[in-house]
Structures are given as C-alpha cells and as structure tokens.
C-alpha cells in the first residue's frame, strides 16, 4: 500500500528546490573561527569518519568532549589523542545505539550531568542493503538513524530547556528525498514491503526531520535550537556492515567521486558555534546553506503521529496513566493549527499536547484523546 499522501507531496515539489540541492552539493561550507573554549560538546559515533573529524575540530578550538561510541578500545585511543594533542577534556560513554536500553542509559546519563551541554551532535549512523532487526526486534537502520536521536533528545528536554542555551545538530542527509512518497507509519519496521537500503535510509532520515518539527516547537523561546544538516557527498565508512560486493563497489566507484569529510566537520562546527545562526532553529542545511527539504519532511500532521509512534517504539520512555496526568495538567490550549503546550509535571520532561486542525488533540506521552480529558475536567 502506497502512502495516501503521495499525490499531495508530488504536487508540492518544486524544480527550484531540486536545482538548489544540486548546486549546493558543490559548494564549500562557511567557516567559523570563533573559539569554543569551555564549551561541552557531545558527539555520537566519534571514532571514525565525520564524527571523528568533528571531534578533532571542536577540540582544536578549545571545546571539551563527551563521545558516545560503541567500541571501548577506539574510544580510549580517541580520548588519549584528543587530550594529548589539544589539551582539552575528553570523556566517552560506551553504548550500542541499536539497543533501546542502552539508548535510554545514554540519555539518562547525559540528563544527570552537572555541566551544561552546549552542543549535541547526533552523528552515529548506518546503511544496510538487507533488512536487519535489533535485539528489540526493530529495523536496525530506523533505530540507529532515527529512534536513538529521538529518545536522547526527548530525555534531555528538561535539562536543555533549563540551560536556556544549547544547540542540537542532527547529521541528516539529502537522502531523505528517497522517501518521496512520505513516511509509512503503518510499516516503520519494514515488515509489509520489500526492503530497500536506499528507501529505508531515506525513511529514517525523513523521520528525523519530522521529529525536528515537534522538538523545535517545544524549544521555542527557550534559547535551545535544533537543526539538521546534510554533511555533503563525502567519503566515510558508512556501509562497512554490508557484504563484500557492496564494499568493493563502494571502494572502487562511489568513494572515488566523494569529497573529504573534513568539510562536514567544518560545517558542524559552524552550525554549533557561529553567531550568524544564533536563534535559527528547525531548519535543514546542506553543509551550511539552508535548504527547503522535501515536502514530506514538512508535514506537521505526520510529525505529530510519528511522535506518538516513536514514544511507543521507544520503549515506555515515561511512566504515564490517565489518573496521574490529570494531577499535573493545568491547562490545555486548543489552537487553530498547531500549538504545543507544556504540561508541568513531576514526571519526565516532554509531556505536552498538540491540536492540529482537524486532528483530535492528544497527550503525546499517553494515547488518550482530548475529548476524554475535557470530559474529566468538566466533572
């Protein structure tokens, strides 16, 4: 079954955006020379490729690092290299971001830090040509490329908001355009259709952009920004988990046409530090050039639906019940299009409501319709 919104999205595509993407793919990133001494930067997947070069870039400009990596030996090597070469602090957390319990652990550890997180970079990724499932029976690309960043962001909402100053950067991709038909919310786990590496990758990147819509609305006027960026057509180790045929083809054909990942590191530094984009949030960049993403990435209705599905798939991020929620709701505002209303709570951050036009309002961390809540309030 194709996405019912395919025709809608198709009609919203503009050739000017496609030409802009092609033009921007050849551009160099803007450079930021501002020091980041004393800043704390968190980077996932920092032992190789874009993450490694970004870690070195930030360290060279004076930032302290916390790197979220899977490999202990490579993490220790990176730590020693960074400390010796740049004389900054570098720590790491070992975690497999394909496993929900480890993603939750990372989010909670970061949320409990006494230090403020100035920049959070979601870089860890994977590309598979064949469908694989995780220990939680979820499609692996979807978890690593999207769900991990969603859960960590969600668990950090309170902390970052209280800081009143932080930048979240998600390493996304022009590959989100592979999901030109939109997101299949009825089959996020790729169980009902033929698996495609490009399509699964595109869907995960599209999901990340949709989540950015909701996070951005939550962080409005808090001093916290969240943006996504395409790192450029650069050479990385992505795809090394695939078979020998794919690796041979990538090494001998794809990689030869790619640029150095150093441009990605420069772009990540600019987006994390430059005063030129202070306050800019909810945007998609090709390196450091703002672009309009594909139409499916701008669909607020789908973004809200995905939010609820992500909470379900994320493994009970918060404890929730109808009775408990009623004790913490002060007021729910119903808006014409989309207003996100914080709900003061003794529970985990992020319990809020939305009301897009024509869509029943719901408590995102619960799964109750607004009419039930309103009836309860009137009693």
156-193 confidence digits (pLDDT tens):
999 999 999 999 999 999 888 888 879 999 999 999 99
For residue 286, the surrounding DSSP H or E stretch is: strand 284-286
For residues 65 and 106, membership in a common domain is answered with yes
For residues 374 and 277, membership in a common domain is answered with no
Give the pLDDT of residue 177: 85
Q: Judge whether 184 lies within some domain.
A: yes
Q: How many domains does the chain have?
A: 2
> What does the alpha-carbon distance between residue 78 and residue 103 come to, in Å, rounded to a whole number?
21
Give the pLDDT of residue 315: 72
What integer best gives the mean pLDDT of the chain?
80
Sign of CA dihedral 98, 75, 153, 283: negative
In this prediction, what percent of the chain has a pLDDT beyond 90?
A: 61
Domain boundary among 238, 265, 298: 298
Q: Which two tokens stand for residue 23?
A: 């033009």
Q: Which two tokens stand for residue 187?
A: 């089959």
Average pLDDT of 141-161?
96
Give the pLDDT of residue 181: 79
What's the maximum distance between 2 C-alpha atoms anywhere in the chain? 70
Give the pLDDT of residue 357: 31
Highest mean pLDDT pick, 97-106, 236-245, 315-324? 97-106
| Closest to 223 (Cα-Cα) out of 284, 301, 300, 280 | 280
> What does the alpha-carbon distance between residue 77 and residue 75 come to, in Å, rounded to a whole number?
5
Sign of CA dihedral 313, 314, 316, 317: negative
Contact between 273 and 119 (Cβ < 8 Å): yes
Q: 352: domain range?
A: 319-378
Domain boundary among 236, 265, 298: 298
Q: Which of 178-192, 288-302, 345-359 has the lowest mean pLDDT?
A: 345-359
For residues 65 and 133, membership in a common domain is answered with yes
Cα→Cα distances 361→31, 151, 183, 343, Å: 43, 22, 21, 14
Is pLDDT above 70 for 350? Answer: no
Domain boundary among 248, 264, 298: 298
Q: Which of 74-88, 133-147, 355-369 has the lowest mean pLDDT?
A: 355-369
For residues 266 and 344, membership in a common domain is answered with no
Is pLDDT above 60 for 369? Answer: no
- Residue count of the chain, please give it: 379
Q: Judge whether 308 lies within some domain.
A: no
For residue 68, the surrounding DSSP H or E stretch is: strand 64-69
CA-CA-CA-CA dihedral for 125, 232, 118, 328, to nearest 10 = -60
Highest mean pLDDT pick, 12-21, 274-283, 323-332? 274-283
For residues 240 and 327, membership in a common domain is answered with no
For residues 269 and 162, membership in a common domain is answered with yes
pLDDT classification of 233: cutoffs 50, 70, 90: low
Is pLDDT above 80 for 256? Answer: no
For residues 244 and 343, membership in a common domain is answered with no
Measured from the Cβ of residue 236, the count of other Cβ atoms closer than 10 Å reads 20
Cα→Cα distances 276→81, 121, 150, 309, Å: 31, 19, 26, 35
- Parallel, antiparallel or unpaired: strands 284-286 and 289-291: antiparallel
Give the pLDDT of residue 236: 55
Q: Judge whether 309 lies within some domain.
A: no
Q: Judge whether 303 lies within some domain.
A: no
Classify 224 as helix, strand or coil.
strand
Q: Judge whether 1 lies within some domain.
A: no
Average pLDDT of 287-309?
94
For residues 199 and 327, membership in a common domain is answered with no
CATH code of the domain in which 34 resides: 3.40.50.720
Give the pLDDT of residue 319: 38
Q: Judge whether 67 lies within some domain.
A: yes
Q: Judge whether 229 lies within some domain.
A: yes
For residues 236 and 331, membership in a common domain is answered with no
DSSP characters over 84-104: HHH---EEEEE--TTSHHHHH
Q: Which two tokens stand for residue 371?
A: 């009419």
> What does the alpha-carbon distance between residue 142 and residue 108 come to, in Å, rounded to a whole number?
21
> What does the alpha-carbon distance between residue 352 and residue 342 come to, in Å, rounded to a whole number?
5
Q: Judge whether 311 lies within some domain.
A: no
Contact between 140 and 92 (Cβ < 8 Å): no
For residues 287 and 323, membership in a common domain is answered with no
For residues 55 and 113, membership in a common domain is answered with yes
Contact between 98 and 44 (Cβ < 8 Å): no
Q: Which two tokens stand for residue 354?
A: 């939305």
Contact between 327 and 347 (Cβ < 8 Å): no
For residues 273 and 332, membership in a common domain is answered with no
Cα→Cα distances 8→2, 18, 177, 279, 317, Å: 12, 17, 15, 31, 33
Give the pLDDT of residue 130: 92
Residue listed under structure tokens 């945007």: 283
> What does the alpha-carbon distance between residue 212 and residue 30 come to, in Å, rounded to a whole number?
23
> What does the alpha-carbon distance between residue 170 and residue 302 come to, in Å, rounded to a whole number?
19
Give the pLDDT of residue 21: 79
């Amino acid at each position: 079954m194709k996405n019912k919104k395919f025709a809608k999205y198709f009609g919203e595509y503009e050739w000017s955006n496609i030409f802009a993407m092609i033009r921007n793919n050849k551009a160099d990133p803007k450079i930021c020379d501002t020091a980041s001494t004393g800043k704390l930067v968190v980077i996932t997947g920092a032992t190789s490729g874009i993450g490694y070069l970004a870690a070195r870039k930030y360290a060279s400009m004076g930032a302290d690092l916390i790197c979220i990596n899977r490999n202990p030996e490579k993490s220790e090597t990176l730590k020693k290299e960074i400390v010796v070469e740049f004389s900054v602090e570098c720590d790491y957390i070992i975690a497999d971001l394909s496993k929900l319990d480890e993603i939750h652990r990372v989010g909670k550890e970061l949320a409990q830090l006494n230090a403020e997180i100035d920049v959070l970079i979601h870089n860890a990724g994977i590309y598979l040509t064949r469908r694989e499932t995780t220990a939680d029976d979820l499609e692996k690309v979807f978890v690593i490329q999207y769900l991990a960043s969603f859960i960590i962001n969600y668990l950090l909402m309170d902390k970052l908001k209280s800081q009143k100053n932080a930048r979240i950067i998600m390493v996304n991709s022009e590959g989100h355009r592979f999901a030109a038909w939109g997101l299949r919310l009825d089959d996020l786990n790729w169980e009902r259709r033929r698996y495609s590496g490009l399509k699964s990758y595109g869907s995960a990147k599209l999901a990340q952009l949709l989540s950015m819509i909701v996070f951005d609305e939550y962080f409005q006027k808090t001093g916290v920004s969240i943006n996504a960026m395409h790192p450029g057509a650069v050479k990385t180790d992505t795809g090394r988990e695939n078979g020998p045929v794919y690796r041979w083809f990538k090494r001998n054909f794809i990689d030869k046409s790619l640029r150095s990942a150093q441009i990605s590191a420069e772009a990540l530094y600019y987006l994390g530090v430059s005063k030129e984009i202070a306050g800019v949030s909810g945007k998609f960049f090709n390196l450091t050039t703002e672009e309009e993403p594909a139409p499916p990435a701008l669909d607020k209705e789908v973004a809200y639906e995905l939010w609820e599905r992500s909470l379900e798939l994320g493994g009970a991020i918060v404890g929730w019940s109808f009775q408990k929620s009623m004790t913490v709701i002060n007021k729910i505002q119903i808006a014409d299009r989309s207003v996100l209303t914080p709900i003061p709570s003794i529970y985990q951050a992020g319990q809020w409501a939305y009301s897009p036009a024509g869509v029943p309002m719901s408590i995102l961390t619960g799964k109750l319709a607004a009419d039930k809540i309103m009836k309860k309030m009137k009693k």
